[in-house]
Amino acid sequence: MAEEEGKKESKLEGLKQNKMLLFIIIGVVALLLIILIVVAILIFSGGDEPEAGVAAPQQQSAANKGSAANPNSNLLSVGPMYPLDQIIVNLMTSGGGKRYLKTSIELELSVQNLQTELDTKRSIVRDVIITILSSKTLEEVQTTKGKQKLKEEIIERLNEFLVDGRIANVFLTEFVVQ
């Protein structure tokens, strides 16, 4: 009799352990499913939403072929390129430290005849770019998002005084901060 009770108890304990193991497996599967759904939502949502105040310049820049506002643009059909000389500027610093930026930039042109206008206005182009770069802090230029905003600002400012065409994109071919 005691033997039968012992067998019944061991069977009950075995069933309890099986149920506990089943609940643990279901919990882990549910947790993995939730994580998978969250990751899928983050991937398909597109991430960064443009701010209301920034939407207008981005739409204007996106209208240009291969603009910096649209990093997914087709880089297989890049327009004529206009290389600029190397530029070295001091970055703004809040402390007493000295930071400088050394960069080389190439401008993608919307039309070939813009190159003549840029040759004539080369000093103005360099001045505008130097002014923009020297107004930035290390924090503003070290992130990918910061570099993208920098490109957009350069495109916007240069296109303000160009007549024969537009700057379609800016390529940073060298970018060193020290």
What phi, psi does 170 have (nearest 5°)? -120, 130
Domain boundaries, the chain: 1-47, 62-177
68 Cα distance to chain centroid:
11
Mean pLDDT along residues 110-129: 93
pLDDT tops 60 at residue 60:
no
For 62-177, CATH number out of 3.60.150.10, 1.20.1250.20, 1.10.1040.10, 3.30.479.30 equals 3.30.479.30
What phi, psi does 65 have (nearest 5°)? -65, 130
Q: What is residue 61's predicted lDDT score, i.e. its pLDDT?
A: 41
Handedness of CA 58, 59, 64, 67 (dihedral sign): positive
pLDDT single digits (tens) 41-59: 888 875 544 444 444 444 4
pLDDT single digits (tens) 32-41: 999 999 888 8
121: exposed, middle or buried (Cβ count in 10 Å: 0-12, 13-18, 19+): middle
Residue with tokens 């537009």: 166
Q: Name, in order, each residue with C-beta under 8 angstroms of 42's C-beta and a sequence gap of 6 or more.
A: none
Enter the pTM of the model. Answer: 0.58
Strand partners, 106: 83, 171
The CA distance from 80 to 48, in Å, is 30
